[in-house]
Amino acid sequence: MKRLFILTMVFVLALTACDAMTAATEAPAPTAVPPTAEVVVVTVEVPVEVTAVASEAPPVAEPTATQPPTAVPTQAPPTEVPPTEAAPAVSADTDGPIMLADSYWGDYFQNVTYTNSSFSLRCKPKENIFTATATDDHIVAVDFYYRIEDKLGTATSAWKNLGKMVPTGQGTFTLTMSGEDVHPDLRKAQAWFDFQLVGLNTQGQAVGRTEKISQLVNYTIDCP
């Protein structure tokens, strides 16, 4: 019995040793751990260059050569005089300009003039220059109307629009009319030349007019 117990114990120990050897054989080998890198700190000495600061102020730049002074004129330039309105041309063949009485101007015009008290188709003077200044800022154009009164009869023509007067600035308008501008059907041997001015706005509407200027200007076909 004792011998059997000893054999059993030996057998158990043998099995245990065998299992231990098997476990040791099957266990994986430990992974190699790489050595930790050694950090090497290198100190580099950099030489510092010290720039000397000058105690003196920087030199001031020399002034450049300047141009010689411009000669001052000894005489002052003449003062510019603004141009005045051109007056109607007057020659040896004109009587004027003749200023129309202000009672004919109406409420919208002033300084209405003409250059001849007579003009003709064939004799001198053959032209008459009419001017007027509008007193209303809305007047931007002026129509010139005329009619003929026959001195040798009783016929008086209807009013006829000759056209627009020419603006010359500052509200002034002018028109040069010759004896030939009278319509052929209206020409008379001896007649009165009546006229009237009508001021228009930008829409072509009548703003105001002069009175009808009658029996002040003579018109003839031939020399009187």
Query: Quick check: is 134 in a domain?
Result: yes
The length of the chain is: 224
pLDDT of residue 212: 97
pLDDT of residue 160: 97
pLDDT of residue 223: 87
Query: Quick check: is 9 in a domain?
Result: no
- Give pTM, 2 decimals: 0.59
pLDDT of residue 224: 72
Tell me which residues of the chain have a pLDDT lower than 70: 1-93
Query: Quick check: is 120 in a domain?
Result: yes
Cα separation of 190 and 219, whole Å? Answer: 6
Query: Quick check: is 85 in a domain?
Result: no
Query: Quick check: is 163 in a domain?
Result: yes
Query: Quick check: is 10 in a domain?
Result: no
pLDDT tens digit sequence for 4-26: 555 556 555 555 554 545 444 45
Query: Quick check: is 61 in a domain?
Result: no
pLDDT of residue 92: 47
pLDDT of residue 19: 54
pLDDT of residue 95: 73
Query: Quick check: is 104 in a domain?
Result: yes
Residue-range definition of the domain harbouring residue 169: 98-220
pLDDT of residue 153: 86
For residues 164, 169, 172, 174, the Cα torsion angle rounded to the nearest 10 degrees is: -50
Q: How many domains does the chain have?
A: 1
What six digits make up the tokens of 160? Answer: 């006829």
User: Domain of 179: which CATH number?
Assistant: 2.60.40.10
Q: What is the 3-state secondary structure (H, E, C) of the chain?
A: CHHHHHHHHHHHHHHHHHHHHHHHHHCCCCCCCCCCCCCCCCCCCCCCCCCCCCCCCCCCCCCCCCCCCCCCCCCCCCCCCCCCCCCCCCCCCCCCCEECCHHHCCCCEEEEEECCCEEECCCCCCEEEEEEEECCCCCCEEEEEEEEEECCCCCECCCEEEEECEEEECCEEEEEEEHHHCCHHHCCCEEEEEEEEEEECCCCCEEEECCCEEEEEEEECCCC
